[in-house]
Structure 1
């Protein structure tokens, strides 16, 4: 029984390509998620201070 090196080579090549593509996609998704989480917070609203309101005095 002979080993068919061409078929084994093609299968190994396809596995390597699949692993590389999966890693690249995961890195892109990780970057998107990181940007989303870093920019997804509610900014505090600025409160206008009324100069005539005595409660705002220090």
Structure 2
């Protein structure tokens, strides 16, 4: 039984390309997620109580 090195080389090359593609895609998704999470958070603006109105409500 003879080992067909050509087919093994082609399969190895395809696997390397697939792994590199997945790593690159994952990095893009990570950047998008990080930007989304950083920009999605909106701080609640605290309103200062109006001292004149709160005194009249009591």
TM-score by length of 2: 0.73
Aligned positions of 1:13-52 closer than 5 A: 13-45=13-45, 47=47
TM-score by length of 1: 0.73
Alignment gaps of 5+ in structure 2: none
Count of residue pairs the alignment pairs up: 54
Alignment gaps of 5+ in structure 1: none
Alpha-carbon distance in structure 2 between the residues aligned to 1:17 and 1:3: 23
